[in-house]
Amino acid sequence: MIPLGTVGSPSQYADMFTSHHGNPIRNAIMIFAAENLIYLILLALLYLWVTSEEDHTTSVFQSGFALSRLATKDGKMKSIVIFVTIIVSLTLSYAAGQLYSHPAPYMVGYETLLTEAPENSFPSQHTTVSFAVVWPLLSLQDRWRTGLVALVLALLVGISRVYVGLHYPIDIIGAIGTSLLGFALVYAGRGLVMEFVAVCIHIEDRLRTALF
């Protein structure tokens, strides 16, 4: 593990972490975004799982594959692909954290809005997860608008994590990079991913039949 200190001199970030003075409304918005926007992802996955059953959306994952059996399971397909992208991206994020290390801003004396348990600040896990949702949505040919909304929210997560003093800008950049690499790996292995999707949907169908 390579320690990076505070990624620059203290004066480089002092103004950034004291910009919250005198802005209670903005502070409240940023604190909410930094702590709670991540939970919208769970709601989004649940929404995708139970909707769009008859949606024949074509994605880069479906192109070139004989997936007619999944044509009426489009919502579930999207949900699982996003979930897999999150898992792969988080794995890469944790691996990156083993190579690079520096303490979070609140650990080195900056005046911050939030503090957490001492930990490696690089990269931001919240931002990694947020952007891991963006790339699969943007890959859906008629869901790019949803992807753009997700992109705006993911950027807000990243900006807010810096604003409240939980991360440095380099942590956000690292998170975006790991999420993009995670999506690239999922896309490269899209054949296996779609097989996994089919298995998950089959198991869910069997369970639903057995229960109801």
Give the predicted TM-score (pTM) of the model: 0.83
Tens of pLDDT along 121-170? Answer: 999 999 999 999 999 988 876 667 888 989 999 999 999 999 999 999 99
Residue 7 lies in a domain: no
Tens of pLDDT along 56-115? Answer: 455 555 543 333 344 446 788 888 999 999 999 999 999 999 998 899 998 988 888 888
* CATH code of the domain covering residue 167: 1.20.144
**Do 61 and 194 meet the contact criterion of CB atoms below 8 Å apart?**
yes
Number of domains comprising the chain? 1
Q: Which amino acid is at 91?
A: T
CA gap 60, 49 in Å, rounded = 19
Domain of residue 137 covers 12-211
